[in-house]
Each structure stands twice: as C-alpha cells, then as structure tokens.
Amino acid sequence: MKTVTCTAPVNIAVIKYWGKRDTDLILPTNSSLSVTLSQDILHSKTTISAAKEFTQDRLWLNGIEEDITKNKRMHNCFRETRAIRQAMEAKAEAEGNPIEPLSTYHVHVCSENNFPTAAGLASSASGLAALVYTLSQLFELTISTSEVSRIARQGSGSACRSLFGGFVAWEMGEKEDGSDSLAVQVAPETHWPDLEALICVVSDAKKGTSSTAGMQSTIKTSTLMNERINQVVPARMEAMKKAILEKDFESFAELTMRDSNQFHAVCLDTYPPIFYMNDTSRAIIQLIHEYNASSPDGKLKAAYTYDAGPNAVIYAPKQNMKEIIQLIGHYFPSNKEPSEFFADHYQVLEKGVKLNEIEEFVPKTHTNFNSRVIPVQPAGSVSRLLHTKVDDGPRVLDVSESLLKEDGLPKRLA
Amino acid sequence: MKTVTCTAPVNIAVIKYWGKRDTDLILPTNSSLSVTLSQDILHSKTTISAAKEFTQDRLWLNGIEEDITKNKRMHNCFRETRAIRQAMEAKAEAEGNPIEPLSTYHVHVCSENNFPTAAGLASSASGLAALVYTLSQLFELTISTSEVSRIARQGSGSACRSLFGGFVAWEMGEKEDGSDSLAVQVAPETHWPDLEALICVVSDAKKGTSSTAGMQSTIKTSTLMNERINQVVPARMEAMKKAILEKDFESFAELTMRDSNQFHAVCLDTYPPIFYMNDTSRAIIQLIHEYNASSPDGKLKAAYTYDAGPNAVIYAPKQNMKEIIQLIGHYFPSNKEPSEFFADHYQVLEKGVKLNEIEEFVPKTHTNFNSRVIPVQPAGSVSRLLHTKVDDGPRVLDVSESLLKEDGLPKRLA
C-alpha cells in the first residue's frame, strides 16, 4: 500500500471568477487572480492510499463516507491523473524498468477541512486542490504544477489557483479542450511579505445561491456581464499583475474593491437577482471606505473583497492590521470569549489590548474619521475574525499525519 | 393678488433615470419611464400668490420659510416661467390688449407634502412638479404640458414625469440646450385600470447617498454604466412602451424588476459603491420572486421596483393585490395598530381580514410556494403599507384649498 498526505490552501480572488464557457470542462468566461492564504490557519488535508488489495475507490469527507461514483467532477480528476500515471507505467515498462502499476489500483481517499465550524468559507477550492495534488504525489507525476492545476480545474474551477502559493492567475485560455486553461504563479508568497489578510466571518441565516447555478444564471440573463467579461476583466488582469509585481498597494486595493463590487453587481443584474452580501457585509464596506477616506497621508490602507457569501476578506499592509482589527472589533462587537472570536495567529495585538473597549473608536492618526459612518452593530454580526497572511502552496506531510490507518480505513469517523 | 393652488403626484420609475449628461440643465444620460401614482394618497400641494405689493419672493416648505435665492434649480423654474409670461405680456401689450404684468410681481410660494411622516419617499419630483405646474397656471402660460415638463425638469429631473398622469416617458433628447428633453405621456391613467401599486415603506437607520451626488459618481466610476446607457436602456424603453400599450403584465413586470436591479447594480459598481437597498428590501425581492415562481398558471403576478432608498413599490394587477398585501403583512409583521400600518385606500381587504394572522402563510392557490423562502421578519421591518393606483397628473384646486391667507402669508407654520 502506498500512502501520501498533503494539505492545500484556501485562495481568495481579487479578480473574480464568475461564469463558465464550458460547464463540463470548467472553462471560465474570464481570467481571474487570487491570493493564497496561509495553511497554518485554513487548509484542506487529504490522505490517499493506493493498494492492489482495495476492491473499490472509497472516499471519506470530514469523517463521512461519500459515494465517489456520484461525483462526476472528482471522477474527472481521478481519470486524468490515472491516465498520466498509466502512460508513465507503459513507458517505464517499454524501457525495461517497470514501475508499480498504481494506475490500476483502487484508492481510498480521506479528506478534512480544518475550517472553524460554520465559518461559511468555501472549501471546494482547497478540497479539490488537496485531492489532485495528493494524487499527483501518489502517482509521482512528472508534470508541472500548472499541469496539475489544469486537472484540479476540472474538479472545481477555482481549485486550480490553490496549487500555488503567493499570487496566482487562472488564465482562461482559448482552446476548446481546455488545455491552456490553467493557473500560473504571478509572484511567490515571499514577494510581498508586507501584505496580510483578515477574514471577517459574517453571520447569516440565509442560504445563498450555489455558485455553480448562480454563475450560469448570470451568463444567461445579465445584460452587463458581456461588458465585464470582454472589456473590464482583461484590462483589470493586466493592471492587477502590475500592481502585485510592483507591490503597489494603492492600485491593488482599488482594483480589488472594484472587482468585488462588480462581481456582486452582475449578480444583482442577474434575473432573478442573486444576493450574497447582507447588511453586515455592506457595513464593513462602508467602514473600510471611511477608514481609507480619512487616511492621514491620503493613501488607501485596506481593501475588502467578498466571494459568493457574506464574509469579508480584508487585505492590508501588515502595519495597518492592528488598527483594522480594533476597528472591526469596535464596530462589530463579539458576543463570545475573545479567544473564540479572534484568532490572532500573528500576534498583532499586544497582550492586554482588548477589542470593543473604546466608546467611540477613531483610529488614532485619522483625525477626519467620521465615527458615525455606521452605528456599532448588534453583537455577533461578525462571528469570528481570522488574521492570516499570504503563504505557500500545497504541502506534502509526514506519514505520521496520515488520515488513514494502515488498513486503509480512516483514523476518525464523524 | 392672484393666487393658484395645485397638487402634483408622485411618480415611480419602471425604467430608471440615473445619470446626467448636463448637471446645470439636468439632461439625463438615458431616457426613463414612470407610472404616476394617485394623489389621493401621496401628493405635493403648492399655493402661489403674486401681488404687486410683495417686496420679495418668499418660500415656505412644509411650514418652514426657506431662502428661495439659495435654490438655484428652483430659481431656474421661476426664471423660465416668468420669461414666457413676460413674452405673453409684451405680445398682449403690442396687440393693444395688455394683461396683468404678473411677471414683474414677486411671488409667495407655500408648499406641503401629505406624505406620512418619515415615509422616506422622494418628494422632490412631486414638489417641483407642483411648483412649476402652479406657476404655469398662475401665469396662464399657453404652452403644452410637455413644455411645462421641460421647465420642471430643470428643477428636479424626474419632476418632469409628474406633469402627466398614467404612464410617462422622459425622452432624454439630443440637443445641447435641452429643448427636446421632456416628458410625454405614453398612455393615460385610464388605459390600464387593472394595474395597481403597493408601497412598502422600509425602516432604515442609514442615510443614503443623495441621488444628485450618487448618479454623477456612477457616471464617473462605473465601468458597466456605458453599456446600460448605450445598449440596455434604449432597447428597454421600446419594450416597456410596447408592454404598456398592450397591457402585457408579463413583459411589464420582468422589465420593471430587471431595470430596478440593474440600477442598483450600477450603484454597486460605483466606486466607492452606493447602497440603497437593505436586507428588508432584499427579502421583499426574494418573496416576490417566490410568489411569481409558484404562480399556478406560470404567469408573473407582481413586480417590485426600488428607487434611491430601501422602500419597495410593488406593481400588480388588481386581482392579485389582496393576496400580496396578506403576503407582505405575514412576512413583515407590523408593530403598530393596523390603521397606522396599512392604508387600505381601495378596500382590498374585506372587513375583518387581518394581516399577520396566518402561522405559515401560503397564497391559497400557490401549491408550490416555498413558505420558508425567507423567515418571518422582525416586527416593524416594513413600517407602512400604502395601497394605491395609477392616476392623473396635476390638479388645480379650489381657492378654499389655498395654503396662503389673503395677506399672502401661510395659514399654517411648522
């Protein structure tokens, strides 16, 4: 039995993916660009064992066995990686140095997310990235990471961007077979160490529209979508790459906020309209704009972005992060123990600094800050704050980290 | 002293006006189309007296004196109407039949809205329409109503649409001087008597962006706005006129909802983004889409539209109105006395029918209605329901209705 365990990170797009030109191959209508967040905080972890003795492919997700045959997209990832392994095995055989026929074995897959319960953070990108990356390691595929991303794309579009650390573009490609629709690294995680992220988990009773259904509805019904696809995004992709390469936070921030808003605008222009942001999401947006507008040197200090849900991700230079955490903590007071509310992974708040302790919070250096831009929100509107940073791509873990026992069954079941 | 008193109605656009190509003349970037609502429920009332003895122009708005010289747009309306009167006086003089030189007199203007307190309904359209219509009556201007609308447009853009009853287009025009940017009646109020409206006044703590500032920000910063202006609206204007002339509620409803959503989409695509709808507004949208989706004959039964604020206006055929009022009354329970909450001007609910009395409300004939589409909202989320209908344009009132006394001063001060 051969076993490999890997983790893959979450990525949060700053130029949004929304719309497929081919729903089977998962080919997007526009390129997109994301930032890879640290696996220290959020990751999907996958163990895959392959053994001659296994009688069928089996899959456990978060401790519950799922029917692997029912997941067509996951199946595509198995098929593609096995085909490459098979060719390698045939070639090795032909050369007289046969390798283990792993492509003919059944596999057991066990996968878990370490996301806080009910965080409402999308897990399909990191989950499929972990699956495909682990398969590529298990099969010892001699292909580039971009090629691995091409396969992950067929599992879940944005999964392809979780194959790299740092700043990652998913180039939409032009070919009908999707062979040029894959992820490339724009810059590694070491490129811009000053950039950090704060995830604001927003409470929401409503279940939103699934992004798979939602994006195709936008393609079909929004009369503004073509303009976004054909004109706006191509220009923004270039501008965003330049901003990242130059570590130009002003441009990065404005493009990020504009593109998040435009993504939600085309959702609203969909018929029937799709809503992902709620009043809390909008209050955060207004707060960040006021924070930026009152910046003492006139420069942007933070940028928000929202995926297909109400949670905000705030990107900001490290030196602003403490102020931002206090700002959010003041306007969105917690109804939990501080340790439950705020994950201060990088120790930006000194010991003893409390959130919510300031009656009328004004960032110290922001003399023009209008503290009444929004009222202090009901306790618990933001249920959790996660401070994180730009970080690396998938990691191969030690055998001791395996989620499967030596008999190929999960160590833990739900 | 010559005195005239008139009322002018509120209009609610179904193809939205958003953006000026000339901010002085108030020339719009696209045509728009509205429905005039009954003055029985909502109106602005204006009395104007002109007398040789008056020493200055004076203005009272809702019982408070305002400095008329500070309102440039109102001043334009005085200047234009006086100029036409002056020409009439000169012509009459030249013909040997002089008329009273009203254009040389100062005027006293007293204006009131009968809107429920804190209704949050835009009053500038009806207010400026009442002002300019009253001036045109006072001066006995021999010009068409469209010409009067051209003057009102310079006071407040959408005021021009309140000069007619029924269904009214504001044709954007092409000329630089704005002489062809005016309102025309698409169909009179008698054309489609089956169409009614329900205004849902939505509680909101936030003060939104003023529409004057907001629309110019959208023009400057939204990368989707040109597509709306140049492509989407021109086609929708034609389709909407056709729908109205054919009394085709299906098309009318879909166009109305799409255009409301697109207006709010370009607001969201503005930088910084502009929000007018809140979670209550969005819940009403979701409820109406579920109500339509479960329609037994598959036809649309209601359409929502939102102006620059959180209030919904629901257009629907008369026969659906009772069901809609109960639906809204159920999901948005009131925290007031029924008579304070619901203005049943047209007696759609029989005596004894109560709102909010159904545990899990499902429109009787809608067997597929998902009653959990939204949760029942906190009491008071909708603060008032006003049932109204399509109705006539400005009315000239009897002298007994005057807001000014015989000495030219207001009967009531605030």
pLDDT by residue (tens digit) across A48-69?
A: 999 999 999 999 999 999 998 8
Find, in chain B, the residue whose alpha carbon is nearest to that of A263. Answer: B269
Say yes or no to pLDDT of A357 above 70: no
User: What contacts B351, CB < 8 A, 6 or more positions away?
Assistant: none
Among A378, A290, A385, smallest CA distance to A328 is for A385
Contact B230/A at CB under 8 A: no
Dig out the tokens for B341 from the structure.
Answer: 């909450």
Say yes or no to pLDDT of B24 above 70: yes
Q: How far apart are CA B33 and CA B185, in angstroms?
A: 10
Asked if residues B11 and B255 have their Cβ atoms less than 8 Å apart, the reply is no
Asked whether the beta carbons of residue B262 and residue A227 sit closer than 8 angstroms, the reply is: no
Asked if residues B292 and B300 have their Cβ atoms less than 8 Å apart, the reply is yes
Say yes or no to pLDDT of A36 above 80: yes
User: What contacts A56, CB < 8 A, 6 or more positions away?
Assistant: A106
Other beta carbons within 10 angstroms of residue B297's beta carbon come to 6
Provide the pLDDT confidence category of residue B344 given band limits of 50, 70 and 90. low
Contact A223/B at CB under 8 A: yes
Q: What is the pLDDT of residue B356?
A: 55
Output the 3-class SS for A181-223: CEEEEEECCCCCCCEEEEEEEECCCCCCCCHHHHHHHHHHHCC
Q: Give tens-digit pLDDT for A238-291.
A: 999 999 999 999 999 999 999 999 999 999 999 999 999 999 999 999 999 999
Among B139, B116, B192, smallest CA distance to B6 is for B139
CA-CA-CA-CA torsion sign (A39, A43, A49, A50): negative
Say yes or no to pLDDT of B117 above 50: no
In the three-class reduction of DSSP (H, G, I as helix; E, B as strand; rest coil), residue A119 is classed as coil
Dig out the tokens for A102 from the structure.
Answer: 């792993």
Asked whether the beta carbons of residue B272 and residue A289 sit closer than 8 angstroms, the reply is: yes
Q: What is the pLDDT of residue A337?
A: 80
Asked if residues A83 and A32 have their Cβ atoms less than 8 Å apart, the reply is no
Provide the pLDDT confidence category of residue A338 given band limits of 50, 70 and 90. confident
Q: How far apart are CA A228 and CA B207, in angstroms?
A: 30
Question: Quick one: average pLDDT of A384-400?
Answer: 95
Question: Quick one: average pLDDT of A176-186?
Answer: 98
CA-CA-CA-CA torsion sign (A10, A14, A19, A24): negative
Say yes or no to pLDDT of A296 above 60: yes
Question: Quick one: average pLDDT of A348-369?
Answer: 67
Q: What is the pLDDT of residue B119?
A: 52
Dig out the tokens for B8 from the structure.
Answer: 């002018």
Question: Quick one: average pLDDT of B316-345?
Answer: 86
Q: How far apart are CA B10 and CA B391, in angstroms?
A: 10
B54: exposed, middle or buried (Cβ count in 10 Å: 0-12, 13-18, 19+): middle
Dig out the tokens for B95 from the structure.
Answer: 């013909």
Give backbone dihedrals phi and psi of A69, rounded to 5 degrees, phi first. Answer: -75, -15
H runs (alpha helix) in A1-123: 72-94
Q: What is the pLDDT of residue A371?
A: 87
- For residue A44, CA distances in Å to A170, B54, B110 come to 20, 80, 68
Say yes or no to pLDDT of B49 above 80: yes
Q: What is the pLDDT of residue B210?
A: 86
* Inter-chain contacts counted by CB atoms under 8 A, chains A and B: 83
Contact A272/B at CB under 8 A: yes
Q: How far is CA B355 from the centre of its chain?
A: 27
Output the 3-class SS for A129-156: HHHHHHHHHHCCCCCCHHHHHHHHHCCC
Q: How far apart are CA A383 and CA A200, in angstroms?
A: 8
> Contacts of residue A227 in chain B, CB cutoff 8 Å?
223-224, 226-227
Q: State the CATH class of domain A2-188+396-401.
A: alpha beta
The residue ranges of DSSP E strands in B69-207, in sequence order, are 106-113, 167-171, 182-187, 195-202
Q: What is the pLDDT of residue A350?
A: 62
Contact A285/B at CB under 8 A: yes
Question: Which of A335-339, A353-357, B270-274 has the weakest average pLDDT?
Answer: A353-357
Residue B261 is nearest to which of A273, A285, A289, comparing CB atoms? Answer: A273
B254 to chain A, minimum CA–CA distance in Å? 9
Residue B258 is nearest to which of A262, A271, A279, comparing CB atoms? Answer: A271
Q: What is the pLDDT of residue B204?
A: 73
Q: How far apart are CA A114 and CA A403, in angstroms?
A: 13
Q: What is the pLDDT of residue B336?
A: 83
Question: Which of B98-107, B116-125, B255-264, B303-312 has the weakest average pLDDT?
Answer: B116-125
Question: Quick one: average pLDDT of B48-61?
Answer: 96
Asked if residues B84 and B169 have their Cβ atoms less than 8 Å apart, the reply is no
Question: Quick one: average pLDDT of B219-233?
Answer: 98
Dig out the tokens for B23 from the structure.
Answer: 């901010």
Asked if residues A42 and A399 have their Cβ atoms less than 8 Å apart, the reply is no
Provide the pLDDT confidence category of residue B203 given band limits of 50, 70 and 90. confident
Find, in chain A, the residue whose alpha carbon is nearest to that of B262. Answer: A269
Asked whether the beta carbons of residue A227 and residue B227 sit closer than 8 angstroms, the reply is: yes
Question: Quick one: average pLDDT of B162-175?
Answer: 98
Contact B279/A at CB under 8 A: yes
Residue B268 is nearest to which of A232, A261, A271, comparing CB atoms? Answer: A261
Say yes or no to pLDDT of B122 above 70: no
Asked whether the beta carbons of residue B224 and residue A265 sit closer than 8 angstroms, the reply is: yes
H runs (alpha helix) in A224-337: 225-227, 233-245, 249-268, 279-293, 318-331
In the three-class reduction of DSSP (H, G, I as helix; E, B as strand; rest coil), residue B181 is classed as coil
H runs (alpha helix) in B139-210: 145-155
Kind plus residue range of the DSSP H or E element containing B126: helix B124-138
pTM of the model: 0.94
> Contacts of residue B278 in chain A, CB cutoff 8 Å?
279, 282
Kind plus residue range of the DSSP H or E element containing A45: strand A43-51
Q: Which residues of B5-26 are buried (b: 16+ CB within 10 A; e: fewer)?
A: bbbbbbbbbbbbbbbbbeeebb
Asked if domains B2-188+396-401 and B195-389 share a fold, the reply is: no
Residue type, B163: L
Say yes or no to pLDDT of A348 above 80: no
Q: What is the pLDDT of residue A117?
A: 47
Provide the pLDDT confidence category of residue A70 given band limits of 50, 70 and 90. confident
Q: Give tens-digit pLDDT for A207-235.
A: 678 888 999 999 999 999 999 999 999 99
List, in sequence order, every residue forming a beta bridge with B168; answer none if it has no partner.
B34, B185
Q: What is the pLDDT of residue B221?
A: 98
A405: exposed, middle or buried (Cβ count in 10 Å: 0-12, 13-18, 19+): middle
CA-CA-CA-CA torsion sign (A241, A242, A248, A250): negative
Say yes or no to pLDDT of B378 above 80: yes
Dig out the tokens for B33 from the structure.
Answer: 């189309």
Say yes or no to pLDDT of A27 above 80: yes
Name the architecture of domain A195-389: 2-Layer Sandwich (3.30)
- For residue A254, CA distances in Å to A250, A303, A319, B169, B270 come to 6, 7, 18, 37, 12
- For residue A365, CA distances in Å to A212, A253, A315, A369, B233 come to 44, 20, 20, 9, 46
Give backbone dihedrals phi and psi of B203, rounded to 5 degrees, phi first. Answer: -70, 140
Most confident of A174-188, B339-353, B358-372: A174-188
Contact B373/A at CB under 8 A: no
Q: How far apart are CA B88 and CA A299, in angstroms?
A: 58
Say yes or no to pLDDT of B235 above 90: yes
The full set of domain ranges for chain B reads: 2-188+396-401, 195-389
Question: Quick one: average pLDDT of B165-186?
Answer: 98
Say yes or no to pLDDT of A360 above 60: no
Task: State the average pLDDT for chain A.
Answer: 92
Q: Give tens-digit pLDDT for B86-116.
A: 999 999 999 999 999 999 999 999 999 987 5
Strands B342-343 and B382-389: parallel
Q: What is the ipTM of this complex?
A: 0.93
Contact B251/A at CB under 8 A: no
> Contacts of residue B269 in chain A, CB cutoff 8 Å?
258, 261-262, 265
Question: Quick one: average pLDDT of A392-396?
Answer: 98
Find, in chain A, the residue whose alpha carbon is nearest to that of B290. Answer: A272
Provide the pLDDT confidence category of residue B334 given band limits of 50, 70 and 90. confident
Instruction: Give me the percent of chain B exceeding a pLDDT of 90.
Output: 81
Other beta carbons within 10 angstroms of residue B214's beta carbon come to 18
Q: What is the pLDDT of residue A195?
A: 97
Say yes or no to pLDDT of A24 above 80: yes
Question: Quick one: average pLDDT of B32-40?
Answer: 96
Say yes or no to pLDDT of B118 above 50: no
Q: How far apart are CA A84 and CA A71, in angstroms?
A: 21
Task: State the average pLDDT for chain B.
Answer: 92
Question: Quick one: average pLDDT of B186-201?
Answer: 96
Find, in chain A, the residue whose alpha carbon is nearest to that of B278. Answer: A279
Q: What is the pLDDT of residue B70?
A: 87
Provide the pLDDT confidence category of residue A361 given band limits of 50, 70 and 90. low
State the best of B206, B222, B224, B373 to mutate against chain A, taking most chain A CBs within 10 Å: B224
Other beta carbons within 10 angstroms of residue A396's beta carbon come to 12
- For residue A228, CA distances in Å to A16, A240, A271, A309, B220 come to 11, 15, 17, 20, 17
Dig out the tokens for B392 from the structure.
Answer: 């006539």
State the best of B237, B261, B291, B381 to mutate against chain A, taking most chain A CBs within 10 Å: B261
Q: How far apart are CA B308 and CA B263, in angstroms?
A: 9
Provide the pLDDT confidence category of residue B359 given band limits of 50, 70 and 90. very low
In the three-class reduction of DSSP (H, G, I as helix; E, B as strand; rest coil), residue B102 is classed as helix
Residue A265 is nearest to which of B226, B265, B289, comparing CB atoms? Answer: B265
Contact A279/B at CB under 8 A: yes
